[in-house]
Amino acid sequence: MGTSIVRHDPAARLAAFNRVSTDSVDDAADAVGRIFCPHRLAPEHRTSADFFALHNSAVFGGFSVNYVAYGGSVLIDPGCLERFFLLQIPVRGSARVQTAARDIAATPGASASLLSPTIPTRMTWQGNCAQLILLVDRRVLEQRAAALSGRPVSAVEFEPAVDLSSRGGQALQSQILEFVDLAERLGPQRPLSPMAAANMRETLLGALLHGQHHSASEAIERFGGRAEALPQPLRRAREFLYAHAAEPLDLTQLADTAGTGIRALQLGFQRHFGTSISEMLRDIRLAHLNVRLAAASPDESITDIAFELGFTHLSRMASAYRAKFGEKPSATLRGMN
């Protein structure tokens, strides 16, 4: 990291993971653009002599934690991010974020911004602004939303303003700080194990998808039975499916466990979850498969994992997986390794 930049920002986080350190606008736009995405970068005042750019980045499977700082006030226009989501939490200065329909003021301890890949964005970072930024691969988040909603993978768009005083906002900020602390303890030469990275990824995705409103929130709430008070028989039946997902479906046993009749159970699933019992079981198995593949090492057998999760027809499993998550099981296995 350049010594002149260190003087500008001696409290920078993730210092051992420095990727960009420059006082050149052109160099900053090129280097940061290669890490995130191409974008227009310009000091707000043409004659500004206090410009600098600092970018530190620790990369995990499917996401990264970043510390980014700019000197002075800068305009940043990335348009649509396309490949990833960005959660930006200010630690110094402030940022004005303009999306297609919103104008957000982000300030330390009060508010942050969550940018979706399909929504065009422009930003102004002011007052030597520095932010902790979480980058989440679009494919990873949209696959998790599909698993939670019982629907095929599709675009997810978040409410872009994050209230850091809310329970969800506090949870997200806490998660990011934990990731930053962990990365700093490990250093760049000690990568996380695939299982540890997978566990962090699951915790993070849960905090995002349950803690911040987005276009799939209602579908996730309905499929999870949280949109309304769930009758006890349906609650017991759903818990039984999750606990015994790898076993063949026995409707008589399921109804006995739930304490109701088979027909009442079938109607209840359609009314409260918007799906049939067999479709929910298939989605549970597919979701488990997605998580297992994301955490697996490249030499593990997809066939063995699928059989462990109760799939007996591999060609049907592969077709259902591709229809739901938009890629073959082997692509998920390769993509996380």
The string of pLDDT tens digits covering residues 54-81 is: 999 999 878 999 999 999 999 999 999 9
Residue 39's CB is within 10 A of a number of other CB atoms, namely 17
Are the C-beta atoms of residues 66 and 14 closer than 8 Å to each other?
yes
| pLDDT at residue number 2 | 47
Q: Which residues of 219-236 are buried (b: 16+ CB within 10 A; e: fewer)?
A: bbebbebebeebbebbeb
Can you list the domains of the chain with their CATH numbers? 3-218 (2.60.120.10), 225-335 (1.10.10.60)
The string of pLDDT tens digits covering residues 284-336 is: 999 999 989 988 888 889 999 999 999 989 999 999 999 999 999 999 888 76
Q: What is the mean pLDDT of residues 80-103?
A: 94
Phi/psi of residue 139, nearest 5 degrees: -60, -45
The string of pLDDT tens digits covering residues 5-49 is: 555 677 899 999 999 999 999 999 999 999 999 999 999 876 567
Sign of CA dihedral 161, 163, 166, 170: positive
| Lowest-pLDDT choice from 149-153, 221-225, 319-323 | 221-225
Tell me whether strands 103-106 and 63-70 are parallel, antiparallel or unpaired. unpaired
